[in-house]
Amino acid sequence: MFGIPGKQAVTMTSAAATQIARLMAKDGHQGLRIGVKKGGCAGMEYTMDYVTEVDPHDEVVEQDGARVMIAPMAQMFLFGTEIDYQTSLLESGFQFNNPNVAEACGCGESIKFKDA
C-alpha cells in the first residue's frame, strides 16, 4: 500500500512484541489491528482492536510471535511508527513513536499529523 519494499510499515520494540504475543495467546486472537480515528483535543486518536480474522486489505507486520495489522485508511499515517510497551509505577500501556505527528495533547492520547 504505502510501504517501501524491504521495509516494514511499523516496527515493534521487544517489549511491545512480547505484550502483543501475550495478548494474542490469551484468547486465541490473530493479532491486534491498529488505526486512527477522529477525536480528542488534537484531532486524531490511535485505535487498537483484537483481530479474530485478518482482513486481506490490512498491512500485516509480524515480529517475535506478535502480529499487528494496520487498517487500510491508517497506513499513510502510521508508516514509520515504532510501537513500544512501557510499564511504570502508575500505569502501563502501548506508546506510539510516530514520525508523522506534528502535535500531541498533554494526556498523550490525541495527536495531530503533519500536513502533506
1 pLDDT higher than 50: no
Q: pLDDT of 5-28, one tens digit each? A: 556 789 999 999 999 999 999 888
Q: Domain residues for 97? A: 10-113
Whether 1 is covered by a domain: the verdict is no
- Cell triple for 61: 507486520
User: How far is Cα 77 from Cα 80, in angstroms, rounded to an integer?
Assistant: 9
pTM: 0.81
Whether 82 is covered by a domain: the verdict is yes
Q: How many folded domains does the chain comprise?
A: 1
Whether 40 is covered by a domain: the verdict is yes
Whether 5 is covered by a domain: the verdict is no
- Give the model's pLDDT for residue 65: 94
Whether 79 is covered by a domain: the verdict is yes
At 61, which CATH number? Answer: 2.60.300.12
- Give the model's pLDDT for residue 106: 65
- Give the model's pLDDT for residue 4: 54
Q: pLDDT of 40-92, one tens digit each? A: 776 788 889 999 988 999 999 999 999 999 988 888 888 889 999 999 998 89
Q: Which helix (H) or strand (E) holds 89?
A: none
User: How far is Cα 36 from Cα 73, in angstroms, rounded to an integer?
Assistant: 8
Whether 4 is covered by a domain: the verdict is no
Whether 52 is covered by a domain: the verdict is yes
Q: Using CB atoms within 10 Å of the CB of residue 1, give its burial: 0 to 12 exposed, 13 to 18 middle, 19+ buried.
A: exposed
Whether 15 is covered by a domain: the verdict is yes
Which residue, chain included where needed, has cell 484531532?
43
